[in-house]
A and B are shown apart, each in its own frame.
Chain A
Amino acid sequence: MAESETEVKYQQPDERGHFGVYGGLFVAETLMEPLSELRLAYEKFMVDKDFLAELDWELQNYVGRPSPLYFAERWSKELGGAKIYLKREDLNHTGAHKVNNTVGQALLAKRMGKSRIIAETGAGQHGVATATVAARLGLECVVYMGAVDIQRQAANVYRMKLLGATVVPVTSGSATLKDALNEAMRDWVTNIDDTFYIIGTVAGPHPYPAMVRDFQTIIGREAREQIQQHEGRLPDALIACVGGGSNAIGLFYPFIDDKNVAIYGVEAAGDGIETGKHAAPLCAGKPGVLHGNRTYLVEDENGQIIETHSISAGLDYPGVGPEHAWLKDCGRAEYVAINDKEALQAFHDLTKIEGIIPALESSHALAYATKLAPTMDKDKIIIINLSGRGDKDIHTVANLEGITL
């Protein structure tokens, strides 16, 4: 657009990883040097033609990109408002957007001469995506996973084991994603010489939030081209679910300078924001420092991190990527919350109306669309990031409905 040419382009973070007051580098001293080494490698290879060509090849031939941008015609009609397009990240190899990032980081690990990969995982999607790429590249792989999550995502645990990864149960703290991240950090600080830590979301110390974003922006870059092919113009709104926020930033980032595109991030309201049992730091938390960066957190008045609640393990995290904190504060994106019940309804709706079983994480974005789309004219366009497929969640959904599979 002509107007954006004269405006200052969005350019975050600064050279030390700050998105406004958020982000940065808050880690124990032993990690400062490895993070500096990682930052230099990332800066070098993200402009290296050979590296980018290798990454492109893997994304095309191994991941299966580009993923389609699908017009959900029946569902749009049913909602009676804007036209809804789904960015089908669920069709990627391993069934979610996570693999875009793990392929990128694993290739970087190889270039850096690291032989061992570690990762944290919540729902198991990032763990599976990491174990998959580690198998593909012949790297040793250790995945840390909260003991509680291991129980609710048994299929993904077995998948990781089949792929040759070691899955380490984490029993400290609340035994969920945040504790898995703590434990992965502890492993990394102990084994920094040969180990590469693949963080699965746009959180953590610099350069992770920027690096993971850069690997995920393939989503938004493709969507931007595809919508122009389908509709000859940019969309009016983007919607994506936000746990750590990597699928969301991946879709949003290439549209940030397009001021006419409204951006909505959807957090997990769990049992409801008012009950306190949620995972919505942007909607109901306040800024603090956790896992290497300053961002919005679900915390108590003494700065202790509070256990979060969501039907979706992938959104069950008390922090959020620092770039989302910044986009909230500067007003470029709006963050809303969807509770378990609403997400579950959207899960069923999409399955029945479009024949697509969405992940419970993505169902939060879909549920917000059911509120937003009817308020918009029929010629308006929404793109939703369908970040993952729901096969992994069928046991959870069946359980909630009293069915044993």
Chain B
Amino acid sequence: MIDHVSRIQARFELRAKEGRKLLIPYFTAGDPNPETAVPMMHAMVKAGADLIELGVPFSDPMAEGPVIQKAMERALEFNVSLRDVMAMVAEFRQKDQETPVILMGYLNPVEIMGYVEFAKAARKAGVDGILTVDIPPEEATEYVVAMKAEGIDRVFLISPTTTEERIKAISDASGGFLYYVSLKGVTGAGHLDVDAVRDRVSTIRTLTELPVGVGFGIKDAASAASVASAADAVVVGSAIVKRIEENLDSADNAIKSVCELLTEMRQAIDV
């Protein structure tokens, strides 16, 4: 068991002290190509990212909308595997020991590697947390034990349909933070009802000690700022991946465009 404060916890505590909110960008590792992943991560940190959610490509991303589906297909053209993604994090760690990184994806690649082997490799690479969309805590007993043993935080989703009883169970299995999915649907969908999110987050806060991040439906600086007023962190995924999709001819331009969006969001949520 790792007893020191995790990078994720440290970052949340730091921002809480400052009265600021975390900005968490997502992109799929290997999109638009594997070489761009590490430069993209460093650039995101410079543009104001507090924590990076690195997507692990999967052939059957059931919870993703079309934007992230296509990103995963682009990454899979390079056969980017879970081990490759961890190697990217290890390379990122050579220059950045401060910014927490969580992997986000689906259970099967982790299952095939084995939970214990994955957790050990993840810790060695400098991965701080794991979010696999398709494992609810009810199925996650061994998974949680394996991750805890290596100090890997488990991030689970809470949805608009999650009962209070299950929010407690999810909180018990989690480490780092809770991730509230602000709408029913897939990534990149729909319109955000900030008042509903505010109500829901305040209910979640009565049931957990962990900080609460909110994702799904955050498209621009304005929606990032309004969600930030209701949560401890804002997670931005499809809006970023869309910038990459718009610049497939040039990785430099993709990075530049992503960073412009993050800079705007950072300024808007820090006001």
Whether chains A and B associate is: yes
**Chain A residues engaging chain B, CB cutoff 8 angstroms:** 16, 24-30, 32-34, 172-173, 178-179, 182, 185-186, 189-193, 288-292, 294, 297, 299, 301-305
Q: Which residue of A lies closest to B162 (CB)?
A: A29
Find out whether the CB atom of A24 lies under 8 angstroms from the CB atom of B61: no
B39 interfacial contact with A, CB 8 Å: no
Q: A-facing mask of B122-136, CB < 8 A → 1, else 0?
A: 000000000001111
Q: Which residues of B contact A186 (CB under 8 A)?
A: 62-65, 185-186
- Report, as a range, how many residues of chain B touch the other chain: 35 or more
Known contacts A26-B139, A182-B61; decide if A303 and B186 are in contact (CB<8 Å): no
Most buried by B among A178, A189, A193, A301: A189
Which residues of A have CB within 8 Å of B163?
33
Contact B184 A190 (CB under 8 A): yes
B76 at the interface (CB under 8 A from A): yes
Known A189-B184, A193-B184; 7 more pairs at CB < 8 Å:
A27-B136, A28-B62, A32-B161, A33-B162, A178-B60, A190-B185, A304-B81
Please, which residue of chain A has its CB at the minimum distance from the CB of B113? A303
Say if the beta carbon of B24 comes within 8 Å of chain A.
no
Interface-centre pick from A16, A172, A179, A305 (highest chain B CB count, 10 A): A172
Least CB distance from A122 to B in Å reads: 15
Q: Find out whether the CB atom of A172 lies under 8 angstroms from the CB atom of B159.
A: no
Please give the distance in Å from A367's CB to the nearest CB on chain B. Answer: 30
Contacts A186-B62, A190-B186 known; A303 to B161 CB distance under 8 Å? no
Cβ–Cβ < 8 Å partners of A304 in chain B: 57-59, 76, 81, 108-109
Known contacts A172-B69, A189-B184; A289/B160 CB under 8 A: no
Contact A288 B108 (CB under 8 A): yes
Contact with A along B108-121 (1 / 0, CB 8 A): 11111100000000
Interchain Cβ contacts under 8 Å between A and B, 26 examples: A27-B62, A28-B159, A29-B157, A29-B162, A30-B159, A30-B184, A30-B185, A32-B166, A34-B161, A173-B60, A173-B73, A178-B60, A182-B62, A186-B64, A189-B63, A189-B186, A190-B189, A191-B184, A288-B108, A289-B108, A291-B62, A299-B112, A302-B83, A304-B76, A304-B108, A305-B60
Q: Which residues of B contact A32 (CB under 8 A)?
A: 136, 159, 161-162, 166
Distance between Cα atoms of A190 and B61 in the complex (Å): 15
Given the complex of chains A and B, what is the CA–CA distance between A304 and B30 in angstroms? 15
Complex Cα distance A172/B72, Å? 11
Q: Which residue of chain A has its CB nearest to the CB of B70?
A: A172
Q: Are B109 and A33 in contact (CB under 8 A)?
A: no
User: Which residues on the B side are within 8 Å of A178 (C-beta)?
Assistant: 60
Interface residues of B in 60-95 (CB under 8 A from A): 60-66, 69, 73, 76, 79, 81-83
Taking CB atoms, residues of chain B closer than 8 Å to A301 are: 112
Distance of A292 Cα from B60 Cα, bound (Å): 11
Find out whether the CB atom of A30 lies under 8 angstroms from the CB atom of B181: yes
Smallest beta-carbon distance A188→chain B, Å: 10
Taking CB atoms, residues of chain A closer than 8 Å to B160 are 30
A186-B63, A304-B109 in contact; A26/B136 too (CB < 8 A)? yes
Nearest chain A CB to B205 CB, angstrom units:
18
Q: Which residue of B lies closest to A294 (CB)?
A: B111
Q: Which residues of A contact B199 (CB under 8 A)?
A: none
Flag whether B225 is at the interface (Cβ < 8 A): no
B residues whose Cβ falls under 8 Å from a Cβ of A:
57-66, 69, 73, 76, 79, 81-83, 106-113, 133-136, 138-139, 156-163, 166, 170, 181, 184-186, 189-190
B227 to chain A, nearest CB (A): 18
Contact flag A189-B107 (CB < 8 Å), given A182-B62, A291-B62: no
Instruction: Quote the shortest CB–CB distance from A13 to chain B (angstroms).
Output: 13
Inter-chain contacts of A294 with B (CB < 8 A): 111
B162 touches A26 (CB 8 A): no
Inter-chain residue pair count (beta carbon < 8 A): 119
Is the pair B63, A28 in contact by a Cβ cutoff of 8 Å?
yes
Partner of A291, one of B57, B60, B170: B60
CA of A26 to CA of B63, assembled, Å? 12
Q: Are B60 and A182 in contact (CB under 8 A)?
A: yes
Contact partners of A185 in chain B: CB under 8 A: 62
Do the beta carbons of A305 and B59 come within 8 Å of each other? yes
Nearest CB of chain A from residue B179's CB, rounded to whole Å: 9
Task: Give A173 to B112 CA distance when docked, in angstroms.
Answer: 20
CA of A292 to CA of B79, assembled, Å: 24
Alpha-carbon distance A304/B134, docked complex (angstroms) = 15
CB distance from A129 to the nearest CB of B (A): 23
Partner of B134, one of A192, A193, A292: A292
Q: Report the separation of the CA atoms of residues A190 and B62 in the bound assembly, to the nearest whole angstrom.
A: 12
Q: In the assembled complex, how far is the CB of residue B201 from the closest CB belonging to chain A, in whole angstroms?
A: 15
On whether the beta carbons of B111 and A288 are closer than 8 Å, the reply is yes
Within 8 Å CB of B181, what residues of A? 29-30
> What's the Cα separation between A299 and B165 when bound, in Å?
36
Contact B81 A302 (CB under 8 A): yes
Give bound CA distance, A191 to B189, whole Å.
Answer: 12
Do A29 and B81 have beta carbons less than 8 Å apart?
no
In the complex, residue of chain A having the shortest beta-carbon distance to the beta carbon of B61: A182
Complex Cα–Cα for A291 and B135 (A) = 11
B76 to chain A minimum Cβ distance, whole angstroms, is 7
Contact of B136 (CB < 8 Å), options: A25, A189, A193: A25
Residues in B with CB closer than 8 Å to A190 are: 184-186, 189-190
Contacts of A173 in B (CB 8 A): 59-60, 73
Measured CB to CB, the closest approach of chain B to A207, in angstroms, equals 14
- Residue on B nearest A319 in the bound complex, by CB: B60
Smallest CB gap from A30: residue in B: B159
User: A290 vs B120: C-alpha distance in the bound complex, in angstroms?
Assistant: 24
Q: Is there contact, CB below 8 Å, between B158 and A29?
A: yes
